[in-house]
Structure 1
């Protein structure tokens, strides 16, 4: 419906830890964006802030999620650097520990970030 608030799905590059959490606990949605209008049967135009001006404002229904709740769990859109295909890359903040595991014929270096 026009005027409702929705969350926007973002994806990261596979194999990279997102926001310090692994697996199912990774945040997958950012937002609170207002629906401006309906475009066709399965697309909606959103009101995007100036920081996301490079992103096209029309999104498919599969990328949107209806907003329920108080917003305390959401990741703010301005805390993530998004590219034009709505993906981001997060690198390690600090190296905590390094180890070398010795096998019979080789050594494997591991880094805990």
Structure 2
């Protein structure tokens, strides 16, 4: 049945059929009972469609296990406005590698042999950021205050990957 037909119990009429004799609809408890039956029918069909979609997904999902010595790709999370792995914006790679598995640490955790340019990656795959130099300063004037910003070059990053940070934040984090 069409969604309109399920909800309202009748076929959708076009403008041509608007001027036909109107249907006599029961009022009171009959209307309520009919509406509840329609809601139950819709819920049953939604559950049936949901279980069908779940069965399709369950056929494709499988647990991945790797052996020591295999080559795998490392998934990296993209950040807007940050240049990573030589590319910026939409061109940032989602996966890098392949890298060799050195050791299995847990169920889904593996130690990889990473190249020296990725030496700043922490074992839990987070970067330890350290400022190297301040490349530039600027002061933005707002209506009632001034905000001073500094352009910071980070350790293990190229000059093109330098970011603008507020000077007060930099002084508090890196005295």
TM-score (norm 1): 0.41
Q: Which has the larger radius of gyration?
A: 2
More helix as a share of residues: 2
- More relative contact order, 1 or 2 (CA 8 Å, 6+ apart): 1
More strand as a share of residues: 1
